[in-house]
Amino acid sequence: MSRIGKRPVELPSGVTASVSGQTVEVKGPKGTRSFTATDDVTIGVEDNSVTVTPRGKSKRARQQWGMSRTQVQNLVQGVTDGFKKELEITGVGYRAQVQGNILKLNLGLSHDVDFPIPDGVTVQAPKPTEVTIEGIDQQLVGQVAANIREWRAPEPYKGKGIRYKGEYIFRKEGKKK
């Protein structure tokens, strides 16, 4: 039995969910998101909650049960609160700024990095050493943050690079004579 799948997803006020076939569509104050579940689960809307139940006792049905419930929960959270990732830039001369639909990064390379901001996310640079990514799609927000971090991942000797806020970087000692 899936401990996650058993619990219904509660819909806060201002959020509505509708099911057509295997597709769940959730509308809220921040927008509309949808998810199409596999045929291994049944999705139903009752009162102010969405329930997910498996069809059968196969291993795949049990796997999809908890995953589908989590996907629906992420839809509800996305349209109510949204998702947010924060990045910190560490290093002498490393900085970021947003110009229109482009994030300009100075990362010690021979050229500046122009990162185009995709639709569906908002990127802000409140300080030159901080970048904030927000949106209603958790996967897209995480992927954009990973793509930005990929330009200069933190290195273990001086800790320079782009890291997630609160991320711990294991530091190495370096050479000895």
Q: Does residue 106 form part of some domain?
A: yes
Mean pLDDT throughout 141-145?
96
pLDDT at residue 107 in the model: 92
Specify the amino acid at residue 153.
Answer: A
Mean pLDDT throughout 161-173?
93
Q: For the chain, how many structural domains are there in total?
A: 2
pLDDT at residue 1 in the model: 64
Answer yes or no: do 108 and 145 share one domain. yes
Mean pLDDT throughout 128-153?
95
Could you tell me the pLDDT band of residue 30, with boundaries at 50, 70 and 90?
very high
Answer yes or no: do 99 and 64 share one domain. no
Domain carrying residue 59: 3-80
Tell me: pLDDT of 177 over 90.
no
CATH of the domain at 76: 3.90.930.12
Answer yes or no: do 30 and 98 share one domain. no
Collapse the DSSP code of 97 into the 3-class scheme (helix H, G, I; strand E, B; otherwise coil) and give the result: strand
Instruction: Show contacts of 107-113: CB within 8 Å, 24+ apart.
Output: 107/151, 107/152, 107/161, 107/162, 108/152, 108/160, 109/152, 113/151
Tell me: pLDDT of 48 over 70.
yes
Does this model's pTM top 0.75?
yes
pLDDT at residue 5 in the model: 85
pLDDT at residue 54 in the model: 92
Which of 20, 55, 80 delimits the end of a domain? 80
Tell me: pLDDT of 152 over 70.
yes
Pairing of strands 113-116, 102-106: antiparallel
Which of 40, 62, 80 delimits the end of a domain? 80
